[in-house]
Amino acid sequence: MELPHPRPYMAAMTVLPPSGLPFMKMHGLGNDFVVIDERQTGAVVTADLAIAMADRHRGIGFDQLVAIRDHAAADVELVFYNADGSTAGACGNATRCIAGWEMGRRGLPMLNIQTERGTLTAVGIANGAVEVDMGPPLLDWADVPLASAMDTLELPIDGAPTATGMGNPHCTFFVDDLSAIDLAARGSEIEHHPLFPERTNVQFAQIVGPDHIRFRVWERGVGVTLASGSSTCAVAVSAMRRGLAGRKVRVDMDGGTLHVHWAQSGVCMSGPWAHVFDGIWRG
């Protein structure tokens, strides 16, 4: 599949191989990604390339773009870009997708993945799903980070949300009626709240039953998405800290379900992944 791009001035900002830039399209529960394997292509992803490819009308479209690189101490290194060209320290669904693909390609039962968040471990589980240990949650205000010292369990914002760092900042509201929330309006507002100097992902969550949560998410630099892996971890941890759930929970999103276990090593997230198609970006 070849996808032309009508804005050549964007391509001029990055050097593409003469034959075009190979990419993969993947998704985890509808949270979709363009994946570029820099080990094979020789091209280096830039923010300008990410912005051009992110355009769902003139480009390919994605929630995040992921660059795969070699790493001296891990099996692979992943670098994440949001649709607006900004970078993210973590992306749980993309990590699961690439881990599943890479383990299958190399015949490995597990994978060590270097990210800005640190080294994450992924393992294959039943029915082709993948579990990723996303590492311990960051619960101190300075690590989220927040703008000033405060208790992260209940922030001084209307609705008393909980702040969590999972390699990127998260702000989780617990509500009685999820359908009553204007996610686009509230998400955009809270993403840029002055308490979050690096902006934040925003989740609105409702407790469905014992150890069962439903939430919707606004991702910083992207907007409303069908799912988010790091947000799933943040919602689960927030519910556990507030006594609303146990250490193992089912978490439902618009795009589907993930399972989270807050283990001693870190927050383990598991679920399905999909490799949708391969293509060539001509720029």
For residues 205 and 91, give the distance between their C-alpha atoms in angstroms, rounded to a whole number. 19
Calculate the alpha carbon distances from 119 to 22, 141, 197 in Å.
26, 22, 25
Query: Are 123 and 186 in the same domain?
Result: no
Is the pLDDT assigned to residue 13 strictly greater than 90? no
> What DSSP element (H or E) covers 192?
none
Residue 57 sits in a domain whose CATH number is: 3.10.310.10
Query: Are 228 and 209 in the same domain?
Result: yes
Whether residue 139 is contained in a domain is answered as no
Query: Are 32 and 108 in the same domain?
Result: yes
Is the pLDDT assigned to residue 12 strictly greater than 50? no
Q: What is the pLDDT of residue 42?
A: 86
Query: Are 13 and 113 in the same domain?
Result: yes
For 87-126, what is each residue's pLDDT tens digit?
999 999 999 999 999 999 999 999 999 999 999 999 999 9
Query: Are 196 and 113 in the same domain?
Result: no
Q: What's the number of CA atoms in the CB half-sphere (13 Å) around residue 33?
A: 32
Residues 15-41, mean pLDDT to the nearest whole number: 93
Is the pLDDT assigned to residue 10 strictly greater than 60? no
Whether residue 52 is contained in a domain is answered as yes
For 214-248, what is each residue's pLDDT tens digit?
999 999 999 999 999 999 999 999 999 999 999 99
Report yes or no: 15 and 267 within 8 Å, Cβ to Cβ. no
Q: What is the pLDDT of residue 14?
A: 63
Query: Are 17 and 42 in the same domain?
Result: yes
Query: Are 11 and 128 in the same domain?
Result: yes
Whether residue 22 is contained in a domain is answered as yes
Query: Are 187 and 71 in the same domain?
Result: no
Whether residue 152 is contained in a domain is answered as no
For 145-165, what is each residue's pLDDT tens digit?
999 999 999 999 999 999 999
Whether residue 235 is contained in a domain is answered as yes
Q: Is 105 exposed, middle or buried (0-12, 13-18, 19+ CB in 10 A)?
A: exposed
Is the pLDDT assigned to residue 43 strictly greater than 90? no
Q: State the chain's mean pLDDT as an integer.
A: 93
Whether residue 93 is contained in a domain is answered as yes
Whether residue 176 is contained in a domain is answered as yes
What is the number of structural domains in the chain?
Answer: 2
pLDDT bracket for residue 283 (50, 70, 90): confident
User: Does residue 195 come out as left (phi exceeding 0), alpha (psi in the -120 to 50 range) or beta?
Assistant: alpha
pLDDT bracket for residue 25 (50, 70, 90): very high
Query: Are 204 and 120 in the same domain?
Result: no
- The answer to pTM > 0.85 is yes
Domain of residue 217, residue span: 162-264
Query: Are 121 and 11 in the same domain?
Result: yes
For residues 28 and 249, give the distance between their C-alpha atoms in angstroms, rounded to a whole number. 18
For 48-70, what is each residue's pLDDT tens digit?
999 999 999 999 999 999 999 99
Query: Are 130 and 31 in the same domain?
Result: yes
Query: Are 244 and 275 in the same domain?
Result: no
Whether residue 50 is contained in a domain is answered as yes
